Amino acid sequence: MTNTPTPKILGKDSNENVYFLTASSNYTFLSFSNGKRRISGYSLGFFENVLNDDFLRVNRSYLINKSFIDKVLDRGGKHFVRLKNNQEIRISRRKTSQILKVCKIYK
């Protein structure tokens, strides 16, 4: 984690409440556990550097909160992360081994 200040969009205690972040051009959509979504002008790479180690970059477009991971799925060589809200996010080939080591909940 760097000394870069956390954007106000995250709020005081929201690291625990952020389900995942999604990239869209130079914007980032933040999805919270209460169902709300916010948009930020910061890139996903910025958030990757600012947020703590509780977040994993699973592919080019998603940064997810490890505490909301339910399991990792293997579907014919393609791996997905299933979140506790049953949403599935594909893991890129280059990130698969790292994600499997970190999650240790491969099923």
- Does 96 fall in a domain? yes
pLDDT at 83: 94
CA distance 98 to 11: 29
pTM value is 0.82
Q: Do 60 and 22 belong to one domain? A: yes
The tens digit of pLDDT for each residue in 5-42 reads 556 666 655 566 889 999 998 899 999 988 889 999 99
Q: Do 17 and 55 belong to one domain? A: yes
CA distance 86 to 50: 27
Domains: count for the chain: 2
- Does 55 fall in a domain? yes
**CATH number of the CATH domain containing 40:** 2.40.50.40
Residue 86, CA distances (Å) to 67, 83, 105 in order: 14, 5, 15
| Partners of 81 in beta bridges | 72, 89
- Does 3 fall in a domain? no
Cα dihedral 77, 68, 57, 82 in deg (nearest 10):
20
| Domain limits for position 52 | 8-66
